[in-house]
Amino acid sequence: MTTLTTLPPTLYLSAPDMVRLIQRKGLAACLRGVADRIAQDFKRWPEFDKSPRVACHSPDGVIELMPIADAQEFAFKYVNGHPKNTANGLPTVMAFGVLADVATGAPRVLSELTLVTAIRTAATSALAAKTLARPGSRVMALIGNGAQSEFQALAFKELVGIKELRLFDTDGEATAKLVANLVGSGLSLTVCSSVAEAVRGADIVTTVTADKTNATILTPDMLEHGMHINGVGGDCPGKTELHPGVLRAAQVFVEFEPQTRIEGDLQQMPADFAVTELWRVLVGEHPGRLKPEAVTVFDSVGFALEDYSALCFMRDAALELGIGSTVDLIVQTPDPKNLFSALQQEAASPIIATRPQASSAISG
Amino acid sequence: MTTLTTLPPTLYLSAPDMVRLIQRKGLAACLRGVADRIAQDFKRWPEFDKSPRVACHSPDGVIELMPIADAQEFAFKYVNGHPKNTANGLPTVMAFGVLADVATGAPRVLSELTLVTAIRTAATSALAAKTLARPGSRVMALIGNGAQSEFQALAFKELVGIKELRLFDTDGEATAKLVANLVGSGLSLTVCSSVAEAVRGADIVTTVTADKTNATILTPDMLEHGMHINGVGGDCPGKTELHPGVLRAAQVFVEFEPQTRIEGDLQQMPADFAVTELWRVLVGEHPGRLKPEAVTVFDSVGFALEDYSALCFMRDAALELGIGSTVDLIVQTPDPKNLFSALQQEAASPIIATRPQASSAISG
């Protein structure tokens, strides 16, 4: 029998827990904190064991598993994308995830990640724009006014200094909802009647539409000198938002190149089309924007490392605020080689003396 | 605003719930039920979207995600393998998993899978032996007497008709533990002092050792005519149990060929070494054992479909017995495009009238 070490409990952050956590921390503080954590982790990029996510596609959507690990922690996110869900009152995106110890494999945190995904996506977008957009960018076009739009709007206000939003969505109710939610945010809002109208004069253009099609939201004729494009919605095979000409006219930055080539707007381009991974700009290996009048594109698909960073931020915040409970996901027995004993009502029968070095017959 | 559909709750089966469930159903009934469900699902093999598992290897172990889906359901398992854990009183294998709706992406079941993994592994081994071993097989050598050994022993008794076990483990305490747990099982047990002694005269040889090395537990000189070998422990890159000569001398059967070529004892063989997927035998496409004196090998690595089948069995049993609770993993708002409203203490501000067809400025 080995010495008994107890498994650490698994911290559980439910959806209500996460709402409480974000309300108590404040959404702005969460956006800033997650962006800082993502920046720190992107700067130690080579330390992570990275793989493109595993995706299961069906006619109406996709279900993905997004794993990542460094030498200490393993994290994964479960996330779906079902644009037609909203027609039935269900979310397009639902997510949860886990943090585990690499040394033992023990799961340490189980958390809702639907809200966290919206926060980490917006935080990553804002971090990229802070790094790549022209300094002094104040006006952003926000194309697609669905579930993620408020988070994008507030992250760009908090982290990039955006003051004015120009809004467009094919669903006017979505835009009205976004406007209602941003009343009192201090952002000045202009509701536009077309993408072209929204984009005109914008320093930054964020596209965050949900259709699982090769849409062409942004065309080359809409580009203006020095624009930064934050392409968020083109994030799985067959789902794009940017005309190839937009990519050809721009300096293109990505999260994790092998994944973006499969999932991003980049999927429309030849395999040798040049892109730069954002972390290289953050560590100073690449200058980022080469000239003020250049057009920069952040072709964002969402990378597991961002979820890891956000999970770590939320875990730390939960421990600091005393939010969350624990779950008994793993059965443990005094002798780990005696899993069977977990099923025995009484303690296991006394061990019969046997001499493994010699053969002996026992009738069971 | 779309019509509100509520998300179905996520059923949660904790480790204590699973212990209760297995105790109430009875382990024998669970082994039979899971084996039946696995057989049914293997027979509809082409209906599943299959991919080799995603593995994250570290010096002391591996953490894996095992996804699978048919047109209705998506399932995945989180599972680790850390042989050194037992030295610290922690389990070598810890697992949990999820069942989700393919149509919406909603997670429907979250369950412990450590006990379930032991049950589904033993059930799969017994199903393969029932299909491939000589009829009338009564004596089994059980090499490796750790956490999975009781489950293997009882599955072979229940499903294959094994009456006598010949036991060996380099750790005598593990063997003593197995003997103690099988007292009263009706199996006759012989504790042996070497692999060769245990294997001699056995109809079936089960190897279920844990070392993460290229071990050679079974060598060609130990083979006897008509033997069936159930190789369970050689299940990840760099972890094997069977001498290549054993595979060369046998008809080799596998679960999912692309995965076994990477993870199984098969990893030692050339890419063109012929193997047969078990499902082909179950549907009658392949005869299985070609002659009574042939040696058959089931090179088992554990496939996601078995976890899906076991999860479905346990879910049905939990609903039948009223075991389990629910977890709030997913946040839902009345308007799915208004995720932001989950964070608003009071209801969202009234929607300001806007005319999306024409431009209008609003000060936020």
Give the rounded percent of residues in chain B with a pLDDT score beyond 90. Answer: 83
Chain A interface includes B191 (CB < 8 A): yes
Task: Scan for tokens 């379930």, then name that residue.
Answer: B116
Count CB neighbours of B190 within 10 A. Answer: 21
User: Cα(B173)–Cα(B179) distance, rounded to whole angstroms?
Assistant: 10
Query: What does the alpha-carbon distance between residue A342 and residue B238 come to, in Å, rounded to a whole number?
Result: 31
SS3 B266: helix
Mean pLDDT, rounded, of chain B: 91
The verdict on B210 touching A (C-beta cutoff 8 Å) is no
Residue A27, chain B, CB below 8 Å: the answer is yes
Three-state secondary-structure class, residue A65: strand
With CB atoms and an 8 Å threshold, state whether B94 touches A81: no
Instruction: Write the pLDDT tens digit of every residue in A190-242.
Output: 999 999 999 999 999 999 987 767 778 999 999 999 999 999 987 778 888 99
Sign of CA dihedral A230, A233, A236, A237: negative
Residues from chain B that touch A337, judged by Cβ atoms under 8 A, are 86, 145-147, 171, 173-174, 177
Alpha carbon distance A314, A312 (integer Å)? 6
φ, ψ at A63 (rounded to 5°): -120, 130
Write down the catalytic residue from B41, B169, B235, B307: B235
3-state secondary structure of A231: strand
Specify whether the CB–CB gap between A194 and A171 falls below 8 A.
no
Q: Quick one: which of B128, B94, B130 has its CA closest to B112? A: B94
Element (DSSP H or E) covering residue B7: none
Q: Which domains does chain A have, with CATH numbers?
A: 10-115+306-363 (3.30.1780.10), 132-302 (3.40.50.720)
Dihedral angle, C-alpha A290, A296, A302, A308, nearest 10 °: 30
**What does A136-168 look like in DSSP terms, one character per residue?**
T--EEEEE--STTHHHHHHHHHHHH---EEEEE
For residue A60, the chain B residue with the least C-alpha distance is B103
What's chain A's average pLDDT? 91
- Answer for the pair B3, B103: CB distance below 8 angstroms, yes or no: no
The amino acid present at B216, given as its one-letter code, is T
3-state secondary structure of B196: helix
The helix (H) or strand (E) run that includes residue B50 is strand B49-50
Does the CB of A175 have a partner CB in chain B at under 8 Å? yes
Which residues in B lie closer than 8 A to residue A49 (C-beta atoms)?
56
Q: Is B211 on the interface with A (CB under 8 A)?
A: no
Least Cα separation, residue A151 to chain B (angstroms):
8
| Spacing of C-alpha B251 from chain mean position | 23
ipTM of the complex model: 0.90
Of A5-9, A146-150, A223-227, which gets the smallest average pLDDT? A5-9
Count how many pairs of residues, chain A against chain B, have C-beta atoms within 8 Å. 380
Residues A159-186 have pLDDT tens digits of 999 999 999 999 999 999 999 999 999 9
Residue A351's nearest CA partner among A343, A341, A359, B164 is A341
Q: What's the pLDDT tens digit per position in B252-294?
A: 999 999 999 998 999 999 999 999 999 999 999 999 999 999 9
Chain B residues close to A360, C-beta within 8 Å: 190-191
Contact (CB, 8 A) for B238 and B111: no
CA distance A362 to A342: 24
Helix (H, G, I), strand (E, B) or coil at A363: strand
Distance set, CA B187 to CA A355, B166, B190 (Å):
19, 10, 10
Q: Are A148 and A155 in contact (CB under 8 A)?
A: no
Residues of A marked active site are found at 235
Nearest CA in chain A to B354: A176
CA-to-CA distance for A267 and B50, rounded, in angstroms? Answer: 24
- Once rounded to an integer, what is the mean pLDDT over residues B158-170? 97
Q: Which residues of A touch B118 (CB under 8 A)?
A: 339
Q: A73 and A99 in contact (C-beta within 8 Å)?
A: yes
Question: How far is it, in rounded angstroms, from Cα B201 to Cα B140?
Answer: 9
Contact B105 A81 (CB under 8 A): yes
DSSP per-residue codes, A81-123: E-GGGGGGT--S--EEEEEEETTT--EEEEEE-HHHHHHHHHH
Any bridge partners for residue B112, and if so which? Answer: B96
CA A159 to chain B, closest CA, distance in angstroms equals 18
Q: Confidence class of residue A352 from pLDDT cuts 50, 70 and 90?
A: very low
Judging contacts by C-beta atoms under 8 Å, the chain A residues touching residue B343 are 19, 22-23, 27, 115
A105/B4 CB distance under 8 A: no
Q: What is the model's pLDDT at position B150? A: 98
Residues 6+ apart with CB under 8 A from B253: B128, B132, B275, B276, B277, B278, B281, B288, B296, B297, B298, B299
The reply to whether residue A19 touches residue B342, judged by beta carbons under 8 angstroms, is yes
Q: Is A275 helix (H, G, I), strand (E, B) or coil?
A: coil
Q: Does the pTM of the predicted model rise above 0.95?
A: no
pLDDT category at B212 given cuts 50, 70, 90 is low
